[in-house]
């Protein structure tokens, strides 16, 4: 490839006034010839058909089944439920969570054999990390954390991919789908990427 820089100027794409005038004249002549203005029945039928267009959208959406209502906003989590380590399937104890590690947890009572396991885990999976309390920048997060252990939803707030990458030095987590990056030491604030909201924390449930 040549390394000489070349600029190709873009040609104007607007039609000239003469061409525009000709098009408008042709259009007016066509409309007059067709007699559209006089044929009320055709015109009214056309307007009637156009007014039904939005209805087809509603019918299509209704065919997708009942609306989810609050089901997308609620998870299995409830006060008193134990966190279960998703790798060992054992209850997660504070001493199991080391500084710098990322652990995934699910609510007690959820089993991979449940018929709605995928639906529930897609909403309830948590990521658990331990941060030195002096490194936690967000005051509210510091209040609800336990000895520096914090729990956030594992589901990215962009379009819902599961988070998998954790950088222990910065406490940043990265979504593999579109690279949104969140700071777990600062209320899971979005620091990069298309996600519009921080992760939901257990402290804000
Ligand atoms: S789903 Fe996470 S950045 Fe898009």
**pLDDT per residue as tens digits for the range 90-105:** 999 999 999 988 999 9
Distance 77 CA to ligand 1 centre (A): 23
Ligand 1 nearest-atom number relative to CA 159 = 1
Instruction: Report the predicted TM-score, pTM, of the whole model to 2 decimal places.
Output: 0.65
pLDDT for residue 57:
65
**Closest to 109 in 3D by CA, of 74, 71, 75, 82:** 82
Which is it for the CA torsion 166, 136, 157, 181, positive or negative?
negative
Tokens of 72: 């997308």
Is 174 a pocket residue for ligand 1 (Cβ < 6 Å)? no
Per DSSP, what are the bridge partners of residue 56? none
Q: Each residue's pLDDT tens digit in the chain (205 positions)?
A: 667 777 777 777 778 888 889 988 988 888 788 766 566 777 777 777 777 776 666 666 666 666 666 666 788 888 899 999 999 999 999 999 999 889 999 999 999 899 999 989 998 999 999 999 999 999 999 999 999 999 999 999 999 999 989 999 999 999 999 999 999 999 999 999 999 999 877 655 4
Buried b or exposed e, range 105-138, using 16+ CB within 10 angstroms: bbbeebeeeeeeeeebbebbbbbbbbbeeeebeb
Q: Three-state DSSP class for 193?
A: coil
């Amino acid at each position: 490839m040549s390394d000489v820089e070349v600029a190709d100027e873009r040609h104007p794409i607007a039609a000239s006034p003469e061409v525009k005038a000709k098009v408008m004249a042709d259009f007016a002549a066509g409309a007059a010839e067709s007699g559209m203005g006089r044929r009320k029945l055709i015109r009214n039928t056309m307007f009637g058909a156009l007014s039904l267009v939005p209805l087809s959208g509603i019918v299509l959406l209704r065919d997708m089944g009942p609306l989810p209502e609050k089901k997308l906003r609620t998870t299995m989590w409830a006060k008193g439920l134990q966190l279960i380590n998703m790798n060992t399937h054992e209850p997660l104890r504070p001493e199991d969570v080391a500084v710098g590690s990322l652990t995934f947890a699910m609510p007690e009572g959820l089993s991979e054999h449940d018929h709605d396991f995928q639906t529930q885990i897609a909403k309830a999976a948590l990521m658990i990390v331990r941060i030195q309390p002096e490194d936690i920048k967000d005051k509210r997060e510091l209040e609800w954390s336990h000895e520096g252990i914090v729990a956030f939803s594992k589901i990215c707030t962009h379009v819902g991919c599961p988070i998998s990458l954790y950088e222990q030095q910065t406490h940043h987590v990265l979504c593999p789908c579109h690279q949104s990056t969140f700071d777990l030491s600062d209320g899971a604030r979005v620091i990069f990427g298309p996600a519009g909201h921080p992760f939901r924390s257990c402290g804000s449930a």
